[in-house]
Chains A and B, each alone.
Chain A
Amino acid sequence: MQSEIIVTDSLTKFYGKIKGIEDISVEIPSGNVAFLGPNGAGKTTLIRTLLGIIHPTKGTARVLGYDIRKEINQVRDRIGYVPEFDTSFIPDMTAMKFVAFCARMNGLSVSESKQRASDSLYYVGLDEERYRKLGTFSLGMKQKVKLATALVHDPEIIICDEPTNGLDPTGRVQMLSLIRSLQKNEGKDIILSSHLLRDVEQIADYTLVFSKGEIRAQGNIKELTAEKRSSISIKVRSNQEKFLQRLNDKGIESWIDGIYIESQISHDVEKEIFKIANETNADIRYLGNRSRTLEDVFINLFSKEDLIE
């Protein structure tokens, strides 16, 4: 298995004057990768560009070594795609026929496509329902059928675009579990595109954070969320501003980080913090080294305007 499954070079897509993605140059490693970002950040545009559904305005990319501009059909046969839309089906067709049809579009013979369609639907837990029409399926079942269509031709990479959208908690857990098992048990490389931080945290080892068509951050999730060893986190209930001001006046470099105050670690800093809290009547609720969550990373990367948008 090669270390980078996707390499992009200045990949850009404009829809007329509207920017989809701009100047994206990344190397995406194999394993479980997440595209994280708010709606409209460019995640789906990148996926659709990689699959050749839309053509890039500028730049190029290689997927598993194949150039998307020259060898897109090689790329398509090696990717399984779970689109984000609720539909993407032929509603009055049975699940079995639809999945087999998708396999044939990827070049599998009639008998092989039927066999694999049956197996894929079994794998996603729809073996009993495979002869039901897709239009009668619940949202959760539809998401599973989409996963089956992505699996049926035995791709190397599976791209799931918002696979838990609209699912109830049970459905969400089932879907994430299926996706996880694809990497763990079947050795597939997974790309999960989502704006849901919890989904990303559960699935991905590596993430690319998107905003306004650009990549704001990328890296191993463990590294991104590593503890800040040079600072200590303080959560106070009252007189926060006065407390912060006094910390800085006393030479303890401090700043606001979300609902916490972060202070530079120095000798006996804890003792000094309690002393200042006593002086300013600040009620300390938490003092210690705080692990960063992906949410912290996300909030830090985006301005308030970004988040409101």
Chain B
Amino acid sequence: MKKAQSDAYVRKFSFRAFEGVRKGRVYRLWATSWQWWTHQWERSRAIKVLLGFIIFILVITNLFLLSFKDFMLYEPGTRIPLINPTTGEPMTTNNLLEQNLLELVRGLVTFQTSFSSQTPGGGEMGMSIGGLSIFILILIALVGSGLIADDVSNLTTEIYYSKLERHEYILGKFGAFFLFGNLVIVLPMVLEFFLLVAGLGEISLIQAFPVLIQTIIITEIIVLTFASIVLGFSALTSRRLYAGLAAFMFLFVLNMIIPSLAFSGQGEVGFQILFDVLTLLLLTSFIITGTTEVIYYPHGETSEISYIIDLANGSGIESWMVIGALAMYILLGFAIVVYQVYRRHAR
């Protein structure tokens, strides 16, 4: 009786011929990205914990900012507006939003080096406790390192390549990282924008809109850069631990060493700075917000020693060099992934 029931079920369901229409190639690519991301979300407690930290930091920043809003807008004990040092105009809540949000965004890639600026988009008035970068670095290393390495060690590549084209596999993996990056990097900053708009009040949305666009562009570039680097390392090995450690060390150690070398000259900024990915991302964020002159205080802002990088004066470090160096890193990571997938995995 049991057997008869079993067969009936099989006959009824198991081998219904598939009569639907197969979805296109983009759907399959999306399925690859989405599956990875939902799987990572379900399996990794670390993602949820670190995402919790990021949200906690944003909440604390908001609490500080909203509590001390009046101190940043008016002379102490009066209703006389403070003067914005950049424009000479009275400080507005739009200025507060811009400065604090962009400082938070820069905090994503500010580890050792923290530039400031006297021009719009600088972080002089910031109340952020900043330093999201350590969480972000740990998170991308933890999550992204297994993207390709796990497939190689588990031989899941055999399944992927029997169903997908190589370029679809690569795009699927980048897509997976983008989903992750947009959730932990872009989305919190976009939400922060709307939270600050709601919390600060008296804000002209039309005036604030460019800040939102700048925030999205900067965070997307950060995601693209991290994706390229982490996937590059993930494609180089079949051990996710090695890939994760290598990616973390690459970003962390370079940021520990290179700025020290670059800022060791007397007032001159060394070209070594172009080798540090995090500093490149930081400088790129200034370029995107239209700031070309940034100041670095190696011993804190009270110190007399400072370095000025004019990114548009035609000498020394220039904007195109920063963008070019960053693009080189992105292309290098991408090239490693393509080479490994097309050449090494084709054996």
Contacts and interface: CB of A to CB of B under 8 A. Distances in A.
Interface of A: 15, 51-55, 72-73, 76-77, 79, 81, 83, 85, 87-93, 97, 101-102, 104-109, 112, 115-116, 119-120, 122-123, 149, 153-154, 185-186
A91 B240 CA distance: 14
Interface string B160-199: 1111110000000000000000000000000000000000
A44 to B, nearest CB: 10
Contact of B14 (A73, A79, A91, A119): A119
B22 interface: yes
Given A53-B162, A89-B156, A107 B22 contact: yes
Contacts of B162: 51-53, 76, 79, 81, 83
A93 B9 contact: no
A149 B160 CA distance: 12
A107 B24 CA distance: 7
A79 B104 CA distance: 51
B163 A106 contact: yes
B1 interface: no
B66 interface: no
A123 B155 contact: no
24 contacts: A51-B161, A53-B161, A76-B162, A88-B158, A89-B154, A90-B156, A91-B154, A97-B39, A104-B27, A104-B28, A105-B28, A105-B160, A105-B164, A106-B22, A107-B23, A108-B18, A109-B20, A112-B20, A115-B13, A119-B13, A120-B14, A122-B13, A123-B14, A123-B15
B154 A116 contact: no
Contacts, number: 102
B18 A154 contact: yes
A52 B17 CA distance: 25
Contacts of B164: 105
B43 interface: yes
B264 interface: no
B23 A108 contact: yes
Interface in B4-22: 9-10, 13-18, 20, 22
Given A53-B346, A104-B31, A120-B14, 6 more contacts: A53-B158, A91-B154, A97-B39, A119-B15, A123-B10, A154-B15
B31 A101 contact: yes
A55 B343 CA distance: 11
A76 B163 contact: yes
Nearest to A155: B18
A229 B68 CA distance: 103
B236 to A, nearest CB: 20
B35 A101 contact: yes
B32 interface: yes
Contacts of A115: 13
Contact of B25 (A73, A97, A112): A73
A104 B154 contact: no
A88 B157 CA distance: 7
B159 A88 contact: yes
A83 B155 contact: yes
Nearest to A106: B163
B347 A15 contact: yes
Contacts of A122: 9-10, 13-14
A137 to B, nearest CB: 13
A77 B24 CA distance: 12
Contacts of A104: 27-28, 31, 35
A270 B16 CA distance: 59
Contacts of B31: 101, 104-105
